[in-house]
Amino acid sequence: MILVAGGGPGGLSAALALQRAGLEVTVWERAAQLRTAGAGLSLQINAMRMLAALGVADEVRARGAELRRGSLSDLRGRTLQSIPLERLAARYGQPGVGIMRGALSETLVAALRDGTVEHGRAVAVVQRDEEGVSVVDGAGESARFDAVVAADGIHSATRTAVFGETALRYAGYTCWRGVADVPTPDGGGHMHERWGPGVRFGTVPVAASRTYWFATATAPEGLEDGPDPKTELVERFAGFPSAVREVLAATDAEAILRNDIIDFPPLRSWTRGRVTLLGDAAHAMTPNLGQGACQAIEDAVVLAAALRRDGVPAGFASYEACRRPRAATFVNRSFRMGAIGQTRNAALRWFRDRLLPLVASEAMVERQLGSIYGVDVPPLTG
């Protein structure tokens, strides 16, 4: 029996992949019930190809919105980068999808065997030996497993118990997220991000008449919103196109989320014997490339295939050897992209906004994305 600690998208994908590979698995999730609230996310083509291997891609597409175009622009509306998502979808056999996080979790849970997820349980103590892993939960109850997969997020208690404390780093900006019950401003299937001086605003369709949005601003760490965050956001982004203000106006103020953006530099190791890390517990990254959940889903399929092929603990070693270098590139590239997008220096922004269209043509972007979307999808059966 394998324990997956954490019932987010990465942990649930790992549990489903392990079951598809013929392995026994249970999930411990800290929350008392499935978390369906929250914001949206973009599942890019590489993640959708992995979800197809898990047999849930059709359901995910049905519950979300296909992403057909991607744009990056400045405040004047000039296009800095265009992403031919529809052409890439035809090339790789799956579209990208914008979806509510809760809808993705519900889809994954529905595909698992009944009783796989145990809510209200979190890892507190981990004791390893050559034969297995003894785990104690927050209520003091213990259980024995053949192996443990830590998928309990950036603040992973399992990682801390096995590897010690991990130093987190603040990226230098904070992020607001929300959902508006209006169509995406730029038309169906259009994912769009706009850059201003030290601020950015992005929109992602998650349904025909529903838009997930995110907004960032360079700010000291630890600040909090005032009593009326919605009005503050409207004022902060007053210089953006009217479509941004319309999306904010259609958002429930009480549902707006704010989080400082943090990650940690790539780890030297993910595995200790029969315990390994997955998703944000292994490679938390800033959201600038939209690959956080996508890389966790990749982890899940590669891990299950490695365990089916090599068993425990050898499968953990082959999983880490395959995944750690690739994930590290996304951690580093995403951190750098955030620094570029958040710059407030007028001269640097002028240079950036004129250089990007020259070095990021559609053809070049398509080639670059090929290394992301064309990842190998290992077989889980056969």
Instruction: Please write the tens of the pLDDT for every residue from 230-287.
Output: 999 999 999 999 999 999 999 999 999 999 999 999 999 999 999 999 999 999 999 9
Q: What is the pLDDT of residues 154-175, one digit of tens each?
A: 999 999 999 999 999 999 999 9
**3-state SS class at 311:** coil
Q: Which amino acid is residue 95, in one-letter code?
A: P
- Do the domain assignments include residue 179? no
Q: What is the pLDDT of residues 204-236, one digit of tens each?
A: 999 989 999 999 999 999 999 999 999 999 999
Domain count, the chain: 1
- Do the domain assignments include residue 341? yes
> Looking at the DSSP assignment, which residues form a beta bridge with residue 96?
67
- Do the domain assignments include residue 67? yes
Joined together, the tokens standing for residue 301 give: 């399929």
DSSP class of 167: -
- The pLDDT of residue 21 is 96
- Tell me the C-alpha distance between 10 and 123, whole Å: 17
> Looking at the DSSP assignment, which residues form a beta bridge with residue 199?
217
- The pLDDT of residue 364 is 84
- Tell me the C-alpha distance between 30 and 17, whole Å: 21
- Do the domain assignments include residue 51? yes
**Distance (Å) of CA 314 to CA 25, 133, 281, 319, 325:** 18, 15, 20, 9, 18
pLDDT of residue 76 exceeding 90, the answer is no
Total-model pTM: 0.95
- The pLDDT of residue 305 is 98
pLDDT of residue 71 exceeding 90, the answer is yes
- The pLDDT of residue 75 is 87
- Do the domain assignments include residue 157? yes
pLDDT of residue 360 exceeding 80, the answer is no
Range of the domain at 125: 2-168+263-373
pLDDT of residue 100 exceeding 80, the answer is yes
pLDDT of residue 319 exceeding 90, the answer is yes
- Do the domain assignments include residue 239? no
Domain CATH for 48: 3.50.50.60
| pLDDT tier for residue 367 given thresholds of 50, 70 and 90 | confident
- Do the domain assignments include residue 253? no
Length of the chain: 382
- The pLDDT of residue 326 is 97
- Do the domain assignments include residue 360? yes
- Tell me the C-alpha distance between 92 and 70, whole Å: 17
pLDDT of residue 141 exceeding 80, the answer is yes
